[in-house]
Protein backbone atom coordinates (compact mmCIF):
# COMPACT_ATOMS: atom_id res chain seq x y z
CA UNK A 1 0.00 0.00 0.00
CA UNK A 2 1.25 3.46 -0.76
CA UNK A 3 -0.20 6.92 -0.85
CA UNK A 4 -0.13 8.83 -4.06
CA UNK A 5 -1.89 9.84 -7.20
CA UNK A 6 -2.37 7.43 -10.02
CA UNK A 7 -2.64 8.88 -13.45
CA UNK A 8 -6.23 9.79 -14.23
CA UNK A 9 -7.50 8.62 -10.86
CA UNK A 10 -8.05 10.42 -7.62
CA UNK A 11 -6.71 8.04 -5.02
CA UNK A 12 -5.26 8.64 -1.60
CA UNK A 13 -4.57 5.01 -0.92
CA UNK A 14 -3.64 2.45 -3.52
CA UNK A 15 -3.98 -1.14 -2.47
CA UNK A 16 -1.28 -3.38 -3.81
CA UNK A 17 -3.16 -6.58 -3.38
CA UNK A 18 -6.28 -8.07 -1.93
CA UNK A 19 -4.60 -9.72 1.06
CA UNK A 20 -3.28 -6.37 2.23
CA UNK A 21 -6.71 -4.85 1.80
CA UNK A 22 -8.42 -7.71 3.60
CA UNK A 23 -6.15 -7.52 6.64
CA UNK A 24 -6.53 -3.77 6.71
CA UNK A 25 -10.33 -4.05 6.67
CA UNK A 26 -10.28 -6.73 9.34
CA UNK A 27 -8.08 -4.50 11.45
CA UNK A 28 -10.81 -1.89 11.22
CA UNK A 29 -13.46 -4.37 12.39
CA UNK A 30 -14.88 -5.02 8.92
CA UNK A 31 -15.17 -8.34 7.14
CA UNK A 32 -14.89 -9.51 3.57
CA UNK A 33 -17.79 -11.84 2.81
CA UNK A 34 -19.09 -13.78 -0.18
CA UNK A 35 -18.61 -12.14 -3.53
CA UNK A 36 -15.89 -9.96 -1.98
CA UNK A 37 -18.55 -7.85 -0.29
CA UNK A 38 -17.35 -5.65 2.53
CA UNK A 39 -19.42 -6.23 5.64
CA UNK A 40 -19.80 -4.30 8.86
CA UNK A 41 -21.53 -6.24 11.65
CA UNK A 42 -22.70 -8.71 8.99
CA UNK A 43 -24.36 -6.02 6.87
CA UNK A 44 -23.21 -4.84 3.48
CA UNK A 45 -21.13 -1.72 3.78
CA UNK A 46 -22.05 1.07 1.37
CA UNK A 47 -20.26 4.01 -0.11
CA UNK A 48 -20.67 6.96 2.25
CA UNK A 49 -21.55 9.11 -0.71
CA UNK A 50 -23.63 7.23 -3.29
CA UNK A 51 -24.86 4.16 -1.33
CA UNK A 52 -23.24 1.77 -3.78
CA UNK A 53 -22.60 -1.56 -1.99
CA UNK A 54 -18.87 -1.93 -1.56
CA UNK A 55 -16.66 -4.85 -2.48
CA UNK A 56 -12.90 -5.17 -2.41
CA UNK A 57 -13.08 -4.53 -6.17
CA UNK A 58 -14.84 -1.17 -6.15
CA UNK A 59 -13.50 0.19 -2.88
CA UNK A 60 -11.91 3.48 -3.77
CA UNK A 61 -10.83 4.90 -0.49
CA UNK A 62 -11.26 4.84 3.20
CA UNK A 63 -10.79 7.72 5.49
CA UNK A 64 -8.58 6.83 8.42
CA UNK A 65 -10.19 7.99 11.63
CA UNK A 66 -13.73 8.33 10.34
CA UNK A 67 -14.27 4.77 9.06
CA UNK A 68 -16.07 6.21 6.09
CA UNK A 69 -15.59 4.12 2.97
CA UNK A 70 -15.99 5.23 -0.59
CA UNK A 71 -16.42 3.53 -3.93
CA UNK A 72 -13.97 4.11 -6.73
CA UNK A 73 -15.86 6.95 -8.37
CA UNK A 74 -13.69 10.03 -8.13
CA UNK A 75 -16.81 12.17 -7.57
CA UNK A 76 -17.59 10.38 -4.31
CA UNK A 77 -14.22 11.05 -2.77
CA UNK A 78 -14.19 14.59 -4.14
CA UNK A 79 -17.59 15.17 -2.54
CA UNK A 80 -16.25 14.03 0.78
CA UNK A 81 -13.19 16.23 0.59
CA UNK A 82 -15.34 19.25 -0.26
CA UNK A 83 -17.71 18.54 2.62
CA UNK A 84 -14.86 17.96 5.02
CA UNK A 85 -13.05 21.12 4.05
CA UNK A 86 -16.25 23.12 4.31
CA UNK A 87 -16.51 22.42 8.04
ZN1 LIG B 1 -19.79 6.20 -4.19
Report the C-alpha gap between 29 and 79 in whole angstroms. 25
| Residue 64 scores a pLDDT above 70 | no
Residue of higher predicted confidence among 86 and 10: 86
Residue of higher predicted confidence among 10 and 21: 21
User: Measured in angstroms, how far is the CA atom of residue 51 from the centroid of ligand 1?
Assistant: 6
User: Measured in angstroms, how far is the CA atom of residue 8 from the centroid of ligand 1?
Assistant: 17
Q: What residues pack around ion ligand 1 (CB closer than 5 A)?
A: 47, 49-50, 52, 71, 73, 76
User: Measured in angstroms, how far is the CA atom of residue 78 from the centroid of ligand 1?
Assistant: 10
User: Measured in angstroms, how far is the CA atom of residue 1 from the centroid of ligand 1?
Assistant: 21
Report the C-alpha gap between 48 and 87 in whole angstroms. 17
Indicate the average pLDDT of the chain: 80
Per-residue confidence band for 1, with pLDDT thresholds at 50, 70 and 90 = very low
Q: Is the pTM of this model over 0.85?
A: no
| Residue 10 scores a pLDDT above 50 | no
Amino acid sequence: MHAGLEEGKLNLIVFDNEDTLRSLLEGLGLEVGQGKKILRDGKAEKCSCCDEPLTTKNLGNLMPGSLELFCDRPTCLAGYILRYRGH
